[in-house]
């Protein structure tokens, strides 16, 4: 089963492969508060990995793998691919 939890370690290491992308996408598209919240936790793990200096590797439909080199690039990837989960991450980060 492809769940967010099954990709926890990958997210913590800044990796979103195609299956991890699908798991976050499922949470995004389910559009329930709990699913979007769980997706935002995954986004938070990616940001933490980036801020720790890990080489973030993100699946992208347009170029297969994307390695953001700035917070702006990471934010754009999050917004483009998972706007609801990213929005929830930003709301939680403000509190």
DSSP 8-state secondary structure symbol assigned to residue 4 = S
Residue ranges of domains in the chain: 5-93
**pLDDT score for 22:** 96
Alpha carbon of 88 to those of 1, 29, 54, 73, 78: distances in Å? 25, 14, 23, 18, 11
**pLDDT score for 70:** 98
Q: Encode the chain (95 residues) as per-residue pLDDT tens digits.
A: 889 999 999 999 999 999 999 999 999 999 788 999 999 999 999 999 999 999 999 998 887 899 999 999 999 999 999 999 999 999 999 97
Q: CA–CA separation, 9 vs 73, rounded Å? A: 22
Spatial contact of 23 and 59, defined as CB atoms under 8 Å apart: no
């Amino acid at each position: 089963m492809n769940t967010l939890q099954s990709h926890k370690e990958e997210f913590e290491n800044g990796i979103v492969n195609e299956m991890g992308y699908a798991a976050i996408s499922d949470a995004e598209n389910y559009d329930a508060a709990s699913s979007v919240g769980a997706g935002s936790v995954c986004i938070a793990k990616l940001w933490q990995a980036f801020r720790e200096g890990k080489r973030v590797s993100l699946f992208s439909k347009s170029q297969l793998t994307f390695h953001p080199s700035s917070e702006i690039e990471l934010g754009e990837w999050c917004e483009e691919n998972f706007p609801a989960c990213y929005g929830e991450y930003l709301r939680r980060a403000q509190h």
